[in-house]
């Protein structure tokens, strides 16, 4: 076995040098494999060989990074412009290997030394925040008494004083993911003061429109214009021809145009002649009808909403009816209802307001700011949490509201259910249905371990595995359908995992209470929780770490499932899926750096998504560990403390990579 491993390391070193600049994916796969093996090498001789292999791969990666950073290429003396998106996209797939090696179970000091070396030599020049994140953990807790790893990690942390441009931008522009933005406040619509504030806001907008047109339109006319343009000042003031726009009625003597007492007017509705002083017309259009027909026309409106859209009774006339017309016609109560209905429409249509979707709730969220990412709001009355942009109670970041609405149409198609819920075992082809748990499957027929999402064979339950990149060449089916199926598979996988973890979160308080009361008679649901919660070596800090980790995993699952919605929307809009080849095609076709930046930013988002998935899966495994006795027997209390340090580190990694994905998503939209 020793000789075989020695040969394997030698072959990897050889192919690593050959793969330079030819097959980056395999190069990263080799790197992941060597770090995974090096972490568990116990023989000193094999550790030295593994370290030598990692040094060779590090040199290969440094050469590739030097080219991206604009240094000499192959001795030609030529320079190329440095591109932040390209360099970070190149580096991003490397970070999962370092994260996994740093948090491996009982890793060798040699592997940890290599992690620090790679962070300092390769990660730090491009992404100092990531280098500090990994080395900060190693400086905090290192197994054994190897002081060299601790000192080297602290040295990197002292150098990494600046955040990466992506993470720093996310932290500057974005509110914390858990906290409701301070600019969003809740108001009670049953409170007269709230209604007065909203009415004042509506009146100010009407005044701005009237002022914009230099007094050629009344404030009521401005209000009517706002109702036709969803209360958007930009649309009203920027694209309206005031001369051709219908105006509300301006009336004299209570709206009745008085003529000669003996004159009569033919009403074009009932075709009866009525005295002129018993008729009424809107001044702007001049269509005159008897008062009886006017009242019948207004009374025929099905509801107040229809009244706010009503026009002159003449079937060809589009002149709008305003509240002053209703007052002039002797309908003051109807005019009051008209104003109230318009204010309700204002609350419903204007993007500054969002009514709480909770049952029978009359609270409304309000903000004067515009956010790059739509914030969430939590009702202070019914505790309903909802998206401020679309009002959905399902928070869908990082996908936009429009992307989420289109995604729901995909999920409504029944054809996806059959393909999504039944898959054949990749070894024996027995149909398998997944109804719970993680994506690692073990066939009950042949015992094969495989990934439920991509059907790739796996060696063990803890093997790091990602399959978040769509490959359009894997099938001859309709590409749009296959693409949708690819993303819906991963969406539902994270959705199920989120619901599973939320169930654990609800049980947590009951388990803690039972533990505090020394209650051994627990329900079946509580028995599913880690057994060490009922053991003597768990303290309050450790329980708090567990509780916060459960919440972090649930949040990460929700974030990940909607990150697939965002990627589906991007790939659908492009008509293809991003790859190294498509990046080159885009750059050649568009002849500009912007196309390359767009592709690089989108690929960076994809790589960060893969990292977040790995970290989330790892933390889920730690949370569901049912027995810490083996660690206690092998490493003592130090091992238990390290276990919880790893859990806290993975939780912090989740927060860090969600921020990075938000920043990358913002870059895609900006480009």
Residue whose C-alpha is closest to residue 375's, from 358, 391, 357: 391
| Pairing assessment for the beta strands 363-366 and 376-378 based on DSSP bridges | unpaired
What is the mean pLDDT for each group of 10 consecutive residues in the chain (671 residues)? 81 75 72 86 85 90 81 44 68 90 86 92 90 91 65 84 42 41 80 93 90 82 86 76 44 34 82 91 88 92 81 90 90 91 91 92 87 80 92 89 86 61 77 73 82 81 69 58 83 91 81 62 47 54 85 95 92 59 44 61 88 94 81 81 91 94 81 62
pLDDT at 536 (0 to 100): 44
Alpha-carbon gap, residue 426 to 443, rounded angstroms: 9
**CA max distance for the chain:** 120
How far apart CA 555 and CA 563 sit, in angstroms, is 12
Predicted local confidence at residue 256, as pLDDT: 36
Distance CA 388, CA 481 (A): 31
According to the model, what pLDDT value does residue 263 have? 82
DSSP secondary structure, 503-539, as one string: HHHHHHHHHHHHHHTT-----HHHHTS-GGGGSTT--
Residue 67 to residue 74: CA distance in whole angstroms: 9
What pLDDT is stored for residue 520 in this prediction? 52
Residue that has been written with the tokens 């770490």 in this structure: 545
Q: Where are the domains of the chain?
A: 2-162, 189-349, 465-670
Q: Dihedrals φ, ψ of 641, to 5°?
A: -65, -40
d(CA 510, CA 617): 25
Tokens at residue 375, please? 């914030």
Q: Which residue is it, tokens 């790739």?
A: 456
pTM for the whole thing? 0.74
Tokens 């996994």 -> residue? 100
Other CB atoms within a 10 A radius of the CB of residue 278 amount to 13
What are the residues whose beta carbons fall under 8 Å from the beta carbon of 66, sequence distance 6 or more? Answer: 72
The Cα 226–Cα 390 span in angstroms is: 21
Q: Which strands form 185-188's sheet, in the order they lie side by side? A: 185-188, 363-366, 353-355
d(CA 354, CA 365): 5
Please report the pLDDT score of residue 362 as a whole number: 93
DSSP letters, 594-648, are HHHHHHHHHHHHHHHHHHHHHHHHHHHHHHT----HHHHHHHHHHHHHHHHHHHH
420 exposure class (CB count in 10 Å sphere: 0-12, 13-18, 19+): middle
**pLDDT on residue 60:** 87
Beta bridge partners of 451: 440
Instruction: Report whether 398 contacts 562 (CB < 8 A).
Output: yes
C-alpha gyration radius of the chain: 33
Q: For domain 465-670, give the CATH number.
A: 1.20.120
Closest CA to 657 of 619, 608, 610: 608
What's the rounded Cα separation, in Å, for the pair 476 and 474?
Answer: 7
CA end-to-end span of the chain, whole Å?
A: 52
3-state secondary structure 435-482: CCCCCEEECCCCCCEEECCCCCECCCCCCCCCCCCCCCCCCCCCHHHH
Angle ∠(595,168,646) on CA atoms, nearest 5:
110
Pairing of strands 422-424, 431-433: antiparallel
> Taking Cα atoms as reference points, which of 319, 357, 326 lies closest to residue 341?
326
Can you read off the two tokens belonging to residue 509? 């308080």
| DSSP single-letter state for residue 375 | P
Output the six-digit token pair for 436. 């719970």
The pLDDT value recorded for residue 484 is 82
* Other CB atoms within 10 Å distance of the CB of residue 161: 8
Looking at residue 14, its pLDDT comes to: 79
pLDDT score recorded for residue 282: 86
Q: Which residues pair with 467 in a beta bridge?
A: none
Owner of token pair 């009424």? 280
Provide the 3-class DSSP secondary structure of residue 664.
helix
Residue 273 β-bridge partners: 266
Cα–Cα distance, 149 to 367 (Å, whole number): 50
């Amino acid at each position: 076995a020793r000789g075989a491993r020695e040969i394997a390391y030698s072959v990897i070193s050889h192919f690593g040098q050959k793969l330079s600049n030819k097959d980056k994916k395999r190069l990263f796969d080799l790197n992941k494999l060597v770090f995974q093996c090096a972490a568990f090498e116990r023989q000193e001789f094999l550790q030295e060989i593994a370290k030598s292999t990692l040094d060779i791969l590090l040199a290969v990666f440094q050469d590739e990074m030097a080219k991206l950073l604009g240094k000499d290429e192959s001795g030609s003396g030529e320079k190329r412009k440095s591109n932040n998106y390209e360099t970070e996209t190149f580096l991003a797939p490397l970070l999962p290997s370092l994260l996994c090696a740093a948090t491996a179970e009982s890793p060798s000091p040699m592997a940890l030394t290599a992690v620090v070396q790679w962070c300092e030599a390769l990660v730090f020049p491009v992404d100092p925040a990531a280098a500090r994140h990994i080395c900060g953990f190693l400086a905090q807790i290192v197994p054994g008494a190897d002081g060299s790893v601790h000192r080297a990690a602290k040295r990197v942390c002292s150098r990494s004083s600046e955040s990466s441009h992506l993470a720093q931008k996310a932290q500057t522009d974005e509110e914390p993911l858990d906290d409701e933005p301070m600019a969003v406040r809740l108001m009670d619509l049953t409170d007269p003061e709230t209604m007065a504030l909203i009415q004042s806001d509506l009146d100010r907008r009407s005044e701005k429109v009237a002022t914009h047109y230099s007094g050629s339109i009344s404030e009521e006319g401005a209000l009517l214009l706002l109702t036709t343009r969803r209360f958007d000042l930009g649309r009203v003031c920027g694209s309206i021809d005031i001369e051709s726009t219908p105006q509300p009625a301006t009336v004299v003597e209570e709206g009745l145009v008085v003529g000669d007492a003996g004159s009569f007017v033919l009403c074009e509705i009932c075709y009866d002649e009525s005295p002129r002083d018993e008729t009424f017309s809107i001044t702007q259009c001049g269509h005159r009808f008897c008062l009886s027909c006017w009242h019948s026309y207004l009374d025929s409106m099905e509801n107040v909403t229809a009244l706010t859209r009503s026009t002159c009774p003449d079937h060809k006339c589009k002149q709008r009816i305003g509240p002053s017309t209703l007052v002039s016609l002797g309908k003051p109560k109807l005019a009051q209802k008209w104003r109230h209905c318009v204010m309700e429409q204002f609350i419903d249509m204007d993007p500054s307001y969002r009514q709480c979707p909770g049952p029978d709730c009359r609270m409304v969220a309000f903000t004067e700011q515009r956010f790059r990412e739509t914030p969430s709001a939590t009702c202070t009355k019914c505790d309903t949490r909802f998206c401020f942009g679309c009002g959905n109670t399902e928070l869908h970041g990082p996908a936009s509201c429009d992307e989420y609405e289109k995604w729901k149409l995909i999920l409504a198609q029944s054809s996806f259910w059959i393909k999504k819920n039944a898959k054949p075992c990749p070894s024996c082809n027995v149909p398998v249905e997944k109804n719970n748990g993680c994506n690692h499957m073990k066939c009950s027929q042949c015992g094969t371990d495989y990934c439920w999402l991509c059907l790739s064979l796996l060696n063990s339950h803890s093997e790091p595995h990602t399959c978040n990149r769509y490959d359009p060449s894997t099938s001859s089916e309709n590409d749009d359908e296959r693409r949708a199926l690819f993303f819906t598979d991963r969406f539902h996988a994270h959705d199920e995992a989120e619901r599973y973890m939320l169930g654990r979160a609800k049980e947590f308080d009951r388990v803690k209470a039972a533990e505090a009361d020394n209650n051994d008679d627990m329900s079946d649901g509580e028995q599913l929780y880690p057994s060490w919660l009922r053991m003597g070596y768990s303290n309050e800090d450790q329980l708090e770490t567990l509780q916060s980790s459960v919440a972090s995993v649930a949040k990460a699952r929700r974030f990940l499932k909607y990150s697939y919605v965002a990627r589906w929307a991007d790939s659908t809009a492009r008509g293809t899926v991003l790859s190294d080849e498509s990046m080159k095609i885009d750059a050649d076709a568009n002849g500009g750096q912007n196309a390359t930046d767009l592709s690089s930013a989108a690929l960076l988002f994809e790589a960060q998504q893969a990292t977040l998935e790995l970290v989330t899966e790892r933390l889920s495994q730690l949370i569901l560990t049912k027995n810490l006795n083996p660690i206690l027997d092998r490493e003592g209390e130090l091992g238990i403390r390290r276990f919880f340090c790893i859990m806290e580190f993975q939780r912090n990694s989740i927060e860090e990579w969600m921020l990075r994905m938000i920043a990358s998503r913002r870059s895609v939209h900006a480009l």
